[in-house]
Chains A and B, each alone.
Chain A
């Protein structure tokens, strides 16, 4: 159980950078007035970020991942979150075994 001073410094740098991004949005909305158009733009952010995070997995990683993303999306229409996630994990494992990664 040791902590290398260089590693500790790196962890602090990562923590400071991350903290800055977390506080940044609050500072932003203090200095920018939010009208109806700005509000609509802000409302587009959540789905746009989520889509961007999963897009490479969904579209260009491989057929197994694309299939599993589709299966998860379909399952999400009917099932609660954990069941839909389990469906996705199951489908990706089976698809990778069958068609390779």
Chain B
């Protein structure tokens, strides 16, 4: 791949990511503001966003934040919230023939939900190149870190994001991405199984087990459909 192609692929990634970059800004600001209200300094907020770079687990950490902080509880909860990344990296890992070994691992360090979903979307249509992936991941990463910092500084000035519906930006993005994965009735079965298991688990267990439960139920649904198809074949 020559230099022009690399630039073109990178900006292609940035372009499809643009709306998600805008959507993550209010979330970063809100995270920074929440963290500041829990007593984290701006530097601590920035370090957390830069090192962890996983919004869901960072919000959960703020939920269970205590004085003094318990690193064991925070590490374990991050592991649980982010366990879905194992499935995501296993899935996208099979679609990265254009990546060298080390590049694949480096890319995975920046695997966030939105980046992963856009990478899957790209891989379904064309060859996913390292430059395209960098276009998805790098600007998004810096916007996350910088808006967290800005949010922690602005803190109290932001007011209640719920009143203007901004907290809904994140689930709305997921709804739109989900619509893109529709491939017919089989997808319907996967979604129904996942939604059912997730809601049930969410009502019964604390924390974020519901994400793992929904993912597992979706996979089981596919396996059941597969087995049936074999039985009739």
Q: A residues near B, CB below 8 A?
A: 1-4, 6-26, 28-29, 34, 37, 39-60, 65, 68-69, 72-73, 76-77, 80-82, 84-85, 87-93, 96, 101
Q: Is A80 touching B19 in the complex (CB atoms < 8 A)? A: yes
Q: Is A55 touching B210 in the complex (CB atoms < 8 A)? A: yes
| Chain A min CB distance to B217 (Å) | 7
Majority secondary structure, B binding face: helix
Contact of B187 among A8, A47, A58 (CB under 8 A): A47
Given contact pairs A25-B91, A42-B91, A52-B194, enumerate 19 new A-B contacts (beta carbons under 8 Å).
Answer: A4-B41, A10-B61, A14-B74, A17-B79, A22-B108, A25-B93, A29-B90, A45-B215, A52-B195, A52-B211, A52-B218, A54-B178, A55-B202, A55-B214, A68-B172, A88-B168, A88-B175, A89-B166, A91-B165
23 A/B residue pairs, CB under 8 Å, sorted by A:
A3-B43, A7-B44, A17-B76, A18-B53, A20-B79, A25-B86, A25-B90, A26-B104, A26-B108, A28-B90, A41-B222, A51-B195, A51-B198, A52-B195, A56-B202, A65-B168, A76-B175, A84-B175, A85-B169, A85-B176, A87-B172, A88-B175, A89-B166
Q: B residues near A, CB below 8 A?
A: 18-20, 22-23, 40-44, 47-48, 51-54, 57-58, 61, 68-72, 74-76, 78-79, 82-94, 104-105, 108-109, 111, 113, 116-117, 120, 162-166, 168-169, 171-182, 187, 190-191, 193-195, 197-199, 202-203, 210-215, 217-219, 221-223, 226
| Chain B min CB distance to A36 (Å) | 9
Q: Is B69 touching A60 in the complex (CB atoms < 8 A)? A: no
* Complex CA–CA separation, A27 to B45 (angstroms): 30
Q: Is A14 touching B176 in the complex (CB atoms < 8 A)? A: no
Once A21-B82, A81-B173 are accepted as A-B contacts, the answer to whether A41 and B210 lie under 8 Å apart by CB is no
For residue B174, which residues in chain A have a CB less than 8 angstroms away from its CB?
Answer: 50, 53-54
Q: Is B213 touching A52 in the complex (CB atoms < 8 A)? A: yes
For residue A14, which residues in chain B have a CB less than 8 angstroms away from its CB?
Answer: 48, 51-52, 57-58, 61, 74-75, 78
* Complex CA–CA separation, A17 to B85 (angstroms): 11
Contact of A1 among B41, B179, B202 (CB under 8 A): B41
Closest residue of chain A to B20 (Cβ to Cβ) is A81
* Complex CA–CA separation, A80 to B190 (angstroms): 25
Contact of A9 among B71, B175, B180 (CB under 8 A): B71
| Chain A min CB distance to B147 (Å) | 16
Q: Is A44 touching B218 in the complex (CB atoms < 8 A)? A: yes
* Complex CA–CA separation, A17 to B53 (angstroms): 12
Q: Is A44 touching B221 in the complex (CB atoms < 8 A)? A: yes
* Complex CA–CA separation, A86 to B169 (angstroms): 8
* Complex CA–CA separation, A25 to B195 (angstroms): 23
Q: Is A93 touching B23 in the complex (CB atoms < 8 A)? A: no
For residue A48, which residues in chain B have a CB less than 8 angstroms away from its CB?
Answer: 190-191, 193-194, 214-215, 217-219, 221
Q: Is B222 touching A44 in the complex (CB atoms < 8 A)? A: yes
Contact of B190 among A6, A7, A23, A47 (CB under 8 A): A47
